[in-house]
Amino acid sequence: MTYRLRPYRAADRDALLEITAQVFGPGSLDRMAEEHWGQALGGTPWWQRKQADVANDCDLDPAGIFVAVDVDERVVAYVTTRLWRDVSTGWIHNLAVAADWQGKGLARALLVHALDYFRAQGMTHAKIETLAHNEVGRHLYPAVGFEELAQQVHYTMDLSRGATASDSPPA
């Protein structure tokens, strides 16, 4: 399977959103919360919220988005980035590869491309985040050169059943 990397184009947006809904499920904190609580939070399914996140990336900095396309110019993977110029850090915000293209080196190629972009933009550091159960990311990111600094724990609460101010002792 042959692919090439190129800058994002506005016409790619729908493909990015489709790939997002297709593959982000296992790595989505929103999906995990939805499954835990047995309902779409706020009435909006996780995949629509994740698509909105990627659409926001497209609006904020389209120059920091790169796609992999097949020989027919179909988008099969993408990476979105953000630049924190005040701390010279590039953030790889979203990275996704269509299911039938996974395991072919596209994620690594897009990561390396994003890192080169950061260097060209004068960034001195790069950041990426993943959930602990994302075995692919936990293997790939260190293999590319990222170092784990910390782990974060996410908690959720159903406010209709959780503690209230009246449950707290007086100050």
Q: Decide if 167 is inside a domain.
A: no
**DSSP per residue, 57-71:** HHHH-GGGEEEEEET
Rounded Cα distance, 168 and 153, in Å: 24
Does the residue 96 lie in any domain? yes
Q: Is 171 contained in some domain?
A: no
Q: Into how many domains does the chain fold?
A: 1
Answer whether residue 60 is part of any domain.
yes
Report the CATH number that the domain containing residue 77 is assigned in CATH: 3.40.630.30
pLDDT greater than 70 at residue 171: no
170 is a domain residue = no
Q: What is the mean pLDDT of residues 101-115?
A: 97
Residues spanned by the domain of 36: 3-161
Average pLDDT of the chain is: 91
Q: Which of 27-41, 92-106, 141-155 has the lowest mean pLDDT?
A: 27-41
Band the pLDDT of 61: cuts 50, 70, 90.
very high
Structural domain includes residue 166: no
Judge whether 121 lies within some domain: yes
On the question of pLDDT at 109 being above 90, the answer is yes
Burial class (CB in 10 A: 0-12, 13-18, 19+), 108: middle
Question: What's the rounded Cα separation, in Å, for the pair 30 and 88?
Answer: 29
Q: Is residue 33 part of a domain?
A: yes
Q: Please classify residue 23 by burial: count the beta carbons closer than 10 Å to its beta carbon, then call 0-12 exposed, 13-18 middle and 19+ buried.
A: middle
- Whether the per-residue pLDDT at 168 is higher than 70: the answer is no
The helix (run of H) or strand (run of E) holding residue 82 is: strand 75-84
